[in-house]
Every structure is written in C-alpha cells, then in structure tokens.
Structure 1
Amino acid sequence: MWGDRRAMTKSQMKARSATLAKGLEILNFLGSQNGPVTLRTVMSGLGMTKPTAHRLLATLIDHGMARFDSVNNTYQLGMRLFELSRQVWQDLDLRRVAMNEMRKLHAATNETVSLAILTPDGGVYIDGLQSSHHLREQSRVGQRVALWRSAIGKALIAGLSYKDRQRILEEDADAILNGGTYDGLPELSRHLDLVNARGYAIEIDEDVPGISGAAAPIVDHRGITVAAIGLSGASDRLSRDALHRLGPSVIEATRLASLQAGGAPRPVSTAPQPRGLQVRNVRKLADFSNLIGESPTLSHDGRILYWVDICRPCIFRLDLTTGETDAFPQKDMVTAVAETAEGLLVAGLTGIRIIEPVSGRVVRNFGDPEADIPTNRVNDGKRDAGGRFWVGSLAFSLTRGAGSLYRVDPDGSARRMEAGLTLPNGMGWSPDGQAMYLVDTADRVLYIYDFDADAGTIANRRDLIRFPDDMPGNPDGIDIDPQGNIFIAMWDGWAIVKYAPDGTLVEAYGTPFPRPTSCAFAD
C-alpha cells in the first residue's frame, strides 16, 4: 500500500484533488440552500453531469456528510457535519478569539466590556475587562445572563429561530409580564426582531439600575449566535444616543471575533466606489446620523419632507422652506411613513396606524395585515393618488417567496394584492396612473403592473428591468418624475440610476455615499 501511494503520479494526485474539491462544492451548495434539493438542482447549480453528482453524493452519504430522503428523492447536509461543527466550537477558546477585539473596544471607550456564551439553558458571562471609571460595575464573570433584560442577553437570543427564541422567553413569561419594561411576550419579541435587524442591542437601566449598555452577537460558520460581546457603564455616561453611536463599534468587534473563529457574520462593509462613476453635486438638507434612513415622502403642499430611520426607530420632519427639523423617536421599528389628513400614516413592527407625531397619540390603528405570521414584518410603503396605502412584507430570515404586497384602504381594510415576493421595496406609479412599479431587492428586479386607478387593482405583472449581475449595488427605493422616468436608489451602488419608461438605462447619478436607500422629487 505504501509503495502504491508513493508511486502515485502527479495526474492521479490532481484527479483526486479535483474530486475532493467537487465534493466540497456539493457540501457548500447544500449548505447554501433553504432546504432539501433534488439531484437535478445540484447538477444545474454546480454544472455537474448526472453520474458525477450522483457518485459524489453517494460517497458523502456513506460518510454521514449528506442525507438522502428516498420518499422525496432529495438531498441535504448530514448530521456528521453538525457533530464536527459542535466539536470545533467546543474546542475553540472563545476567550482567546474575542479578547483582542474586546481590548480594542475597551481602550476606545474605557467602559466595561464583557463576553458571554449561549448555553442550552441560557447564557453565562465567561470573561470581561473592567472600566477604570470610579463608578463601574462589579465583575460578572461566572454569573448567569439576564437574557431579556440585558443588552448582552438580548444579543444572544435575538438571532435565534422564532421557535427557539419563543421557547426561551416562555420560560420567563411571568417575569417578563411583571418586569415593568415590556407589556408581554409580543412586545418583547418585536423588540428582539428590531435587535436582530440592526445587529446590536441596547439596555437602559433594565438589568441593573444606573447601568446601560450595548451588545452584539458572535456567530459560527452557519451564522448562528454562539456568544456575544457587550459594553456597559453608568447611564449618565451612556445615554440612548451614545449607545446608538457605539453600536457600530460593538458590531465591528463581534464581526472580527466571528471571522477569527471561522464564523460567517453578516457583511457590514460597503462596496468600493465604482470606477468612472461621476459624483454629482449634492446639498445636505439635514444632519442626522441615521442607521437606515428610508421612505422619504413629501407633504401635500410640498413644503415638508418626512422620512424614517428603520433601525433606530424615529420619524423625521424637515421644513424645506425654513430648514427647521424635528425628530420623533418611536418605540418600535418603523419602515414607512405617509401624510394623511388625519396625521402621519406609519408602517412598522406593530402594523399600520395613523399617529399624531408630536404627542405620539394613535389616531387610528389599522392593525397588522400579517398578524398571523410572526416571522414576517412590513417593509416599504407608499400612498397612491387615491389615498390607498400600498405596503410590502418580508420574512425576517428573507425566506424566498415569503413576502407579499398589500393594499390598505382609507377605511383601514387590508387586501393582499400579490404573494410570492422576497424583499418588496420601492414602489411608484406612472404619471398617467396606468402602471405601477415594484422593486424586489432580493431578486434584483423592477416589476411593472397594469394599474386600475379607479378600482385600485394590479394585473399582468412582468419584468421591466432585470438588473445585470455586473451592475453595482441592489435596487431599493424609487420615485417617478413627471416625464415617467424611473429613478432607482442602488444600495451599495453609490448611485441613483435613471431609467426611461420602457426600461432603458438613461444615466447614473453618482452619490458621495455608498448606500442611497430611496429618493423623492420636490419642486
């Protein structure tokens, strides 16, 4: 045997290496799918012949790396991979991996920085760096984590599956209800959805009186939370605004720790500016540090501009004639806003409602069109000329086809107008009112519908624009000019792109920032 191995030719070694590479490609492909796949899907996805794909899958099954469902004739990852991954994370010294980033965060803030891990029955602090401030916390190493009161606890559980998260919360249901912070599990669950969406959690006097903090998760190679890094200190030093300013720094610390541990954190860096893209002269109208500013909309008289910050929940108002600005913080995530005669129509985690922005008083509550789907939330929305509010929905996990498009009539009734969407986003109407446009960001497409303005119905969906793979960025919010041209904000594309009504690209307007989210025309 030994002699045979030594006698192996270079061509034989190369063939074996190629076979191993193809097997690894199959494992990566199976891991990237949302569920079991057929042999044909593997073949088309990887460009393999049927004999090659079948032979490699059979070998992977023999070694427990893949599983075959003989009833449905589908394949998925095998349990042996999960056993090996658990062993890797058990053997990995998270303290060593995280400590370098914790030291950087500690040096930059001089606040207490803690590391906690998620365990089957909760969470526990395993390491920390103490603040040198006179007023500081006692070391928490070895203590249990308050999963729903502390920022680090919320960071540990926010990214879990809805089922796993609810199981943990239900064990503390009475304490949550009587804790004075949340009205019950639904409100806490919405807050955790917000935490998961923006990537970090905050606490203000929730766990320990006088102590506030921010935290973000460390994830494994599947993107599943295994630990969290938290920063905490005296509330008089760490106000809500200060915590939100520190949030991105905490995210960066956990992102780098995840990468050092072989994990797969969500990308936070922006794409490089495309070469040759001309940046237009722009004028800053208001100076707010939005995490995700969205849904710019004008008042009926064109004097007031409204918009929202989705992840640092707030509604903003700018008087275009005087330059005066106002900010109206919200308790839950807000995703879209529109002006009505009764007040501001707001879409968010709690559904759709009309509010008086200054007092926050709810004028009318239209409810949530998907109240029976707790894993979904509403997204961008806009009013048509008839006063109907159109709003899209999506799954927090961005499950393909889980989203819909709804029409909310002035009487508050909601009707599903389209299903099978993934990330419905910007929408608008042609100047003659005969066409409606809708972006699905995940599918990189702008749909066009025939629109009946009197009935408020859509029909005959077709692709107007399929954005090519080599086009920088992803389509987000849109607006239509009086000539019917469509202006589309390209997230991570550094540009607003202009298309003619027939879908022909006219021009790209470069922006001095990488992630424009939407646009609105003003006189």
Structure 2
Amino acid sequence: MPMTSTTGAASQGDGTAKFPATETNHQATNCARPTASGLGVLEKAMNLLNIVSARRAPMTFTELLRACDLPKATLHRILATLVREGLLRHNAYDKTFQLGLRLLELAHDVWSEFDLRVAAQDELARLRDALNETVELTLLDGTWVVILASEPSGEAQGTRSAVGQRLPVHASASGKAIAASLDPSGQRRLIQALDLERFTQHTIVTATELQAELDLVRARGYAIEQGERALDRAAVAAPIFDYEGRPIGAVAITTDASRLDAARAHTLSSALMGASRSISHSAAGKAMSIATQAPPETTSSVEVACVSEVRSLLGEGPVWSPRDNALYWVDILTPSVHRYDAATGVDTETPLGTMASLVVPKASGGLLVATPGGIMALDLSTRRLTSFCHPEAGRTNVRYNDGKCDRRGRLWVGSMDMGAAANRGHLFCIEANGSWKQVDTGFTVPNGIGWSPDNKTMYVTDTYRQVIYRYDFDLASGAIANRRPLITIAASDGKPDGLTVDDQGCLWVALWDAWQIARFSPEGQLMQRLRVPVPRPTSCCFGGDNLDTLYVTSASLRLSEEQLATAPLSGSLFAIQLPDARGLPEAAFAG
C-alpha cells in the first residue's frame, strides 16, 4: 500500500538509484507486490495472516481486499474459515479483523516441546558457513552463561570443544545480551548477585557501568565483547526470545580479537539478530529492523553533500543554533554529541558515558541532553552532566527518544521502552524551571516533533505505528488536544522517523530503510521525495544563514557488511541546498 493520509491517497514520486539526490512531484503509483494468482489456498490464508500481523491494528474487509490482491468472493471464503478456526477475530461492531486467540494456543503447544539446541543447530551451521567464524549457542545458568552448542569455524576445527564452558555474564557478549533483555526485576537481581571480577583492563567492574552497558545493549539489540574476559578474544551476540518475549539464550560469533574489531562486530549484528529470530520465530524485538529496501529508482535534480563522513551508529536529533552558527546532533548508541561548525566544516564529536537521545541549545548557554538517567545540562568543554529533571524517574527499562523545543522554549520529549516494547512511551512537556507534565501516553517509538508556522498544530510521530499524528496546539498555555492521524506510511515506503516543518507549513520526514526524505503538505499529501545515499536517514532540520539548507542525519545500526558496501556513507551527516524551501527558526530551551 502506498503512503496515505487522512485527507486522501498520497502521491509517490518516480526515480533512479543514482546518488546524488532526487526531487520529484509525480503522482503515486502502487508499490509492486506479488499477485495472488497461482497461490494455493494455504498460501493465500497465510498471506492474509501475515498482512493482519504486520498491520498491528485491526483491518477492515476493504483494507484487506486492497492489501491481498484476492477476488472478493475468495477473500470472503478464506476470512470465514480463519474466523471459524479462531485464527482471526471479527469485530461485528466496527467490522474489522485481527489475529485470533487460537494462535496463542498453538504457540503454547509448540513451546511446551521446544528444544533450543535442536531448533538452533541449522542456523548455527548456516552462520558458520556464511561468515567462516565460530558460532555458539548459550544460555543463562544462575550467574554464569553456559555454551550449549558450538559450530567451530574451519580455522578452529580440531580444537577443544567449547560446549559446557561457563562464561562470566558481565564480561561476555552472550551474558550481556541475555542480561540486557531480562525484565527489570530479574536484571536487578542478577546484577546484585554477580561477582564483577576483573579479567582484563577492559572488564566492567561496577554495577553502575554494567547498567549503562546493558542499557546500550538493549537499545541496540545486540552486545559486543572486546577483550573483556581475555585480551585476545572478541565476540558479538544477540538474544533469543521465547513467545512471551523472555530471553532464553543467545547466539554469538566468537573469534580472535584481530578478526573482530568493533566496526566489524556492528556489521555482523543483523546476521545474528536474523538468526536468533529464525531459531525461535519470536516476534520480540522485531520493532528493530534488520532489513532495508532497495534504493528507489529516481531522477536526480538536487545535490546531496556529505558534510561529515562519520560512521555513527544512530545519528539523530539535528538542531540548528544561529547563536553558534553550528548544527548539534547526537549519536544515541555510541554515545556522543556532535557539533558541526558551518563556517569551518569541522564536525567535533564529544563522547559521553551514557546514552544521549537528543540535544538542544539552552538560552542561558550550554546544552540540554536526554539520557536514561534524566534530562541533563551538558557543558561540552568539560563533558560535565548536571541533572535538570527526570520525568521518567519512577520507571525502569525506559529511555527518552526524540524531542524539540516549541517557540516559547518548552522542551517536548517522548519516552520509550529500551527494547521498543509496545505502548510504554509517554510524551512530556518540560518548562524552563524544570517542572514538567505528562501530556499523552501509549507511544511505542515516539519520534519527529514539530509545529505549524501559525503555532496552532503540533506534530508527533510514532515510528512503530507508521503514523504522524497532529494535535491542536495552544502556544500560550502549551496545551495539546484532539490527537488524530495526519499521515500513515505504508511499510513498503519505509518508517517515519524525525521531521521538520518549513515556512510553508510542509513536513519534511526522514524515511528509515527507504533512502529518502519525503515532503508532505500541511494536509498530509505527498509532494516530493529526496533521494539520499543511505538507507537509514533518521532526521532532518533546516539550517544556515537563510535556513535553506536541509541537514540530514543517518544511521549505520544493524546494517550488514554487504549493505554498508552499497551505502558506505551510512551514519554520516548530509546537507541539501533547497531552491524553493526555507525552514523556520528553531527555539532554544528557555532555561
């Protein structure tokens, strides 16, 4: 299904897969999808179940008809059978369909006889052959991790089997992957029970450092080990979940440190996460995408310049500061804060000891950043973080995500589960004196915040739901009301991430996994697509003296070696000079 809005079907531009970029105004065409002709009844039924599952919301008959490409009569018959067998539920009140409870019964039957070692053996061998590295299956046993199965690489053939070996939780990739995925109380008990023994100078030996590391692991979806239990060993691991989202083990690539530096470990993460999902077929963690779309075929008319060639994991939150003539942005998962000086073209990275999901300049000087430990004032020269406020202080395993200041200088920020569990996110409004209020809830991955030029409409994105919402907004009081969808992005068109609003009230939206920035009218109609040379653009903002430069951040997170070879600039900062659009001045935080 193409991009849609509440005011009618959105348009979709054409194009070629050539860098630099594209700018188009063509009408939308339906995305290519396989037809149902020639499929057997079982395949058609499975296709319907997959469509309903992927939608994450009840679907009407008309929506299913449009999505499945089946004749009406055939769709009626298959739906009736699926409802009768309990695989789908039909709500007679709103005439929608959603997954049925019989699926839970079937899942229970499968898991009651689930053998992790047997289920994993083919995936372990496949990974070993594909990567020529030793692959291990591990599980948590008390305060240790035990290797349950191992597929040694060709170079490791003939060496002593690792099966049965016990690994320290805090100093192994497998241990950290499993521990990071535990529920908050289980994780807390495990950390308290661990003997944080130092094995090398790289070993984590304090509970505070370990908690910060586990936060990063949970947010990334995988763990890395670099000389923490032995200087010559390195590993990367991803958790395996059961049908209720609980970690039951981990799959790990382990090798000599000379073969696996941090950069390569990150590129192997998508293969590991794909293997872990294949082993258990669990839906847990699937909010973290590991596959990208092919580059769109579009014609080029706008140049995209790479102004800072860095391999950030998750570049995000660009904000232009006229006061400093600089662009600030964060790499959430490295973690660090960047300052791009527009006059010199120099990008300066300041590492932080904790995850940072947004950065905004303060009117009184310095910066404000969001960390898992709260909203903090940051002095870049000293790297000192000072607590400002913490709306989520009472909850565990949550972090802040995107945020932006309105034109009165209030900070609006969303929160989410560390592992992107559904509906745990809130939306907060923070005043200059540090007081705050929760203004909405029920988000999964809150993103992309912005305001219309007349300050009467506020926009907030939920990436997980593929929806950009709009609220009625009152600038004087900071009140919002009447949340409703403005734009819905089809899965085939990528995921809506960060956004900015231009002086004409149009929304510019970064489309994760789609190689594009899309421009929408204030009514939600697709107007343009800009092709960027990376699959995962994350956010955008206007900057420069005339606010006619669109800066775009990007990510390299969970991209494979092959994907990075196709898009080597992933993680970099880009600038697009726009001939017919200008931004609106972004406000600093009033505090």
TM-score if structure 1 supplies the norm length? Answer: 0.76
* C-alpha contact 1:279 1:510 (8 A) present in aligned 2: no
Deviation at 1:384, TM superposition (A): 2.1
Deviation at 1:353, TM superposition (A): 0.3
* C-alpha contact 1:102 1:229 (8 A) present in aligned 2: no
Q: Could you tell me how far apart the structure 2 residues matched to 1:313 and 1:292 are? A: 9
Q: Could you tell me how far apart the structure 2 residues matched to 1:321 and 1:380 are? A: 27
Q: What does residue 86 of structure 2 align with? A: 57
SS at match of 1:517: strand
Partner amino acid for 1:406? Answer: F
Q: Pick from 466, 469, 487: which aligns with 2:490?
A: 469
* Greater CA drift, 289-298 or 190-199: 190-199
SS at match of 1:334: coil
* C-alpha contact 1:395 1:403 (8 A) present in aligned 2: yes
Q: Do the aligned partners of residues 200 and 420 (structure 1) sit closer, same or farther apart at CA in structure 2, a change above 3 Å counting? A: closer
* C-alpha contact 1:220 1:226 (8 A) present in aligned 2: no
Q: Could you tell me how far apart the structure 1 residues matched to 2:488 and 2:373 are? A: 33
Deviation at 1:83, TM superposition (A): 4.4
Q: Could you tell me how far apart the structure 1 residues matched to 2:455 and 2:216 are? A: 35
SS at match of 2:529: strand
> Aligned pair 1:173/2:192, yes or no?
yes
Deviation at 1:174, TM superposition (A): 4.7
Unaligned regions of 5+ residues in structure 2, if any?
1-39, 65-74, 88-99, 545-591
* C-alpha contact 1:279 1:512 (8 A) present in aligned 2: no
Q: What does residue 510 of structure 1 align with? A: 531
Q: What does residue 284 of structure 1 align with? A: 306
Q: What does residue 344 of structure 2 align with? A: 322
Q: Do the aligned partners of residues 468 and 202 (structure 1) sit closer, same or farther apart at CA in structure 2, a change above 3 Å counting? A: closer
> Aligned pair 1:147/2:169, yes or no?
yes
Q: Do the aligned partners of residues 220 and 32 (structure 1) sit closer, same or farther apart at CA in structure 2, a change above 3 Å counting? A: farther
Q: Could you tell me how far apart the structure 2 residues matched to 1:359 and 1:215 are? A: 34
Unaligned regions of 5+ residues in structure 1, if any?
1-16, 59-73, 108-112
> Aligned pair 1:194/2:220, yes or no?
no
* C-alpha contact 2:145 2:174 (8 A) present in aligned 1: no
> Aligned pair 1:102/2:128, yes or no?
yes
- 1:239-285 Cα offsets, whole Å, 9 max, x none, are 9xx31442222442452475378677844121122344647320010
* C-alpha contact 2:398 2:415 (8 A) present in aligned 1: yes
SS at match of 2:249: strand
* Greater CA drift, 169-178 or 407-416: 169-178
> Aligned pair 1:271/2:300, yes or no?
no
Q: What does residue 478 of structure 1 align with? A: 499
Deviation at 1:307, TM superposition (A): 1.0
- 1:118-142 Cα offsets, whole Å, 9 max, x none, are 1564531232648979xxx997442
Q: Do the aligned partners of residues 456 and 449 (structure 1) sit closer, same or farther apart at CA in structure 2, a change above 3 Å counting? A: same
Q: Could you tell me how far apart the structure 1 residues matched to 2:543 and 2:55 are? A: 43
> Aligned pair 1:439/2:461, yes or no?
yes
SS at match of 2:537: coil
SS at match of 1:57: coil
Mapping of 1:326-365 within 5 angstroms? 326-340=348-362, 341-362=364-385, 364-365=386-387
Partner amino acid for 1:521? Answer: F
Q: Could you tell me how far apart the structure 2 residues matched to 1:486 and 1:498 are? A: 6
Q: Do the aligned partners of residues 173 and 139 (structure 1) sit closer, same or farther apart at CA in structure 2, a change above 3 Å counting? A: farther
SS at match of 1:98: helix
Q: Could you tell me how far apart the structure 2 residues matched to 1:95 and 1:230 are? A: 14
Q: Could you tell me how far apart the structure 1 residues matched to 2:382 and 2:304 are? A: 33
Q: What does residue 253 of structure 2 align with? A: 230
Q: What does residue 452 of structure 2 align with? A: 430
Q: What does residue 92 of structure 1 align with? A: 118
* C-alpha contact 2:124 2:135 (8 A) present in aligned 1: no
Q: Could you tell me how far apart the structure 2 residues matched to 1:84 and 1:204 are? A: 37
Q: What does residue 68 of structure 1 align with? A: none
SS at match of 2:166: coil
Partner amino acid for 1:409? Answer: E
Deviation at 1:511, TM superposition (A): 1.7
Q: Pick from 97, 106, 116: which aligns with 2:137?
A: 116
Q: What does residue 501 of structure 1 align with? A: 522
Deviation at 1:393, TM superposition (A): 1.2
Q: Pick from 308, 316, 319: which aligns with 1:297?
A: 319
Q: Could you tell me how far apart the structure 2 residues matched to 1:350 and 1:178 are? A: 26
Highest CA radius of gyration, 1 or 2? 1
Partner amino acid for 2:221? Answer: G
Q: Could you tell me how far apart the structure 1 residues matched to 2:484 and 2:440 are? A: 13
Q: Could you tell me how far apart the structure 1 residues matched to 2:418 and 2:135 are? A: 28
Q: Could you tell me how far apart the structure 1 residues matched to 2:62 and 2:422 are? A: 19
Q: Do the aligned partners of residues 181 and 383 (structure 1) sit closer, same or farther apart at CA in structure 2, a change above 3 Å counting? A: same
* C-alpha contact 1:290 1:309 (8 A) present in aligned 2: yes
Partner amino acid for 1:509? Answer: L
Q: Could you tell me how far apart the structure 1 residues matched to 2:319 and 2:146 are? A: 45
> Aligned pair 1:255/2:274, yes or no?
yes
Q: Which has the higher contact order (CA 8 A, sep 6+)?
A: 2
Deviation at 1:229, TM superposition (A): 1.0
Q: Could you tell me how far apart the structure 2 residues matched to 1:490 and 1:25 are? A: 25
Q: Could you tell me how far apart the structure 2 residues matched to 1:212 and 1:91 are? A: 23
SS at match of 1:509: strand
* C-alpha contact 1:114 1:127 (8 A) present in aligned 2: yes
Deviation at 1:403, TM superposition (A): 1.8
Q: Do the aligned partners of residues 306 and 78 (structure 1) sit closer, same or farther apart at CA in structure 2, a change above 3 Å counting? A: closer
* C-alpha contact 1:449 1:462 (8 A) present in aligned 2: yes
* C-alpha contact 1:218 1:229 (8 A) present in aligned 2: no
* C-alpha contact 1:302 1:522 (8 A) present in aligned 2: no
* C-alpha contact 1:229 1:250 (8 A) present in aligned 2: no
Q: Could you tell me how far apart the structure 2 residues matched to 1:244 and 1:449 are? A: 41
Partner amino acid for 1:175? Answer: L
Deviation at 1:367, TM superposition (A): 3.8
* Greater CA drift, 284-293 or 423-432: 423-432
TM-score if structure 2 supplies the norm length? Answer: 0.68
Partner amino acid for 1:467? Answer: T
Q: Could you tell me how far apart the structure 1 residues matched to 2:221 and 2:301 are? A: 30
Partner amino acid for 1:243? Answer: A
* C-alpha contact 2:235 2:252 (8 A) present in aligned 1: no
Partner amino acid for 1:517? Answer: T
Identity between Structure 1 and Structure 2 (%): 31
Q: Could you tell me how far apart the structure 1 residues matched to 2:48 and 2:168 are? A: 41
